[in-house]
Copies of this chain bind each other. A is one copy, B any other.
């Protein structure tokens, strides 16, 4: 053995590294060929042949790349370079959150902490770049939320939309994606635990308060109210976890 089977698999590298290397090779292939978002990748068979590995092996890597949001796989059609998409993170983070909730829920709380830091820390810069259009969008979202609250409908979609639009002025897709992920994970954990009683009016009012501060371009106040908003969320989560 160990006849130095150079080539690709020196057996010295752990299997994990090898599988990771395959993923990297595929990503490099995309970059080398100058493929851009939306462009088609070679078919599974072609990749299998070009990379010199079996189709099943390639498929495993492709699935991973899909999970990482690198490519999009469309059954019966082909594979394409995916637009930015962090939805994959959601399931992984949700799992961790639920796992931690069985103990003391530290990780779920950590998630809130990060959201809180990101949002209350970035509201200032966002307000700096806020235009009238952005504000109008925000207001219409709030009005939709209010309507929903009056009809006793769940607010989570409007809630998510509000937070998303709050930071739209920053024009930072990565940030929006991250916040979306965190939001969804929080949502899922909350759902898995069973939602406690919700006060729709209070929730709406909280958001109106934040909106007012933003509309007045009062960065400090907006930041503080966001801070409090998350404090409330944290308490609520703690209650539910305790039950």
Decide yes or no whether A34 CB sits under 8 A from chain B: yes
Inter-chain contacts of A172 with B (CB < 8 A)? 110, 113-114
Decide yes or no whether A27 CB sits under 8 A from chain B: yes
A59–B121 Cα distance when bound, in Å, is 41
Provide the main secondary structure of the chain A interface: helix
Interface flags, A63-102, vs B, CB<8A=1, else 0: 1111111100101000001001000110110011011001
Inter-chain contacts of A27 with B (CB < 8 A)? 91, 95
Mark the stretch among A18-26, A138-146, A147-155, A207-215 that contacts chain B: A18-26
Q: In the complex this chain forms, how many copies of it are found?
A: 2
A95–B64 Cα distance when bound, in Å, is 13
Mark the stretch among A42-50, A156-164, A173-181, A193-201 that contacts chain B: A173-181
Interface flags, A24-66, vs B, CB<8A=1, else 0: 1001001100101100000000000000000010011101111
Inter-chain contacts of A170 with B (CB < 8 A)? 113
Check if A99 sits within 8 Å of B37, measured CB to CB.
Answer: yes
Check if A114 sits within 8 Å of B178, measured CB to CB.
Answer: yes
Inter-chain contacts of A2 with B (CB < 8 A)? none
Inter-chain contacts of A96 with B (CB < 8 A)? 69-70, 84
Inter-chain contacts of A75 with B (CB < 8 A)? 14-16
Check if B174 sits within 8 Å of A91, measured CB to CB.
Answer: no
Decide yes or no whether A111 CB sits under 8 A from chain B: yes
Decide yes or no whether A107 CB sits under 8 A from chain B: yes
Check if B175 sits within 8 Å of A91, measured CB to CB.
Answer: no
Q: In whole Å, how far is A48's beta carbon from the nearest beta carbon of chain B?
A: 14
A60–B58 Cα distance when bound, in Å, is 10
Check if B173 sits within 8 Å of A91, measured CB to CB.
Answer: no
In the complex, 27 of the A-B residue pairs with CB atoms within 8 angstroms, ordered by the A residue number, are A15-B75, A16-B66, A20-B91, A23-B91, A27-B95, A30-B99, A31-B99, A34-B102, A36-B102, A37-B99, A61-B63, A63-B63, A65-B92, A68-B89, A68-B92, A70-B92, A70-B95, A81-B99, A89-B89, A107-B173, A110-B175, A113-B175, A114-B118, A117-B122, A118-B118, A121-B121, A121-B122
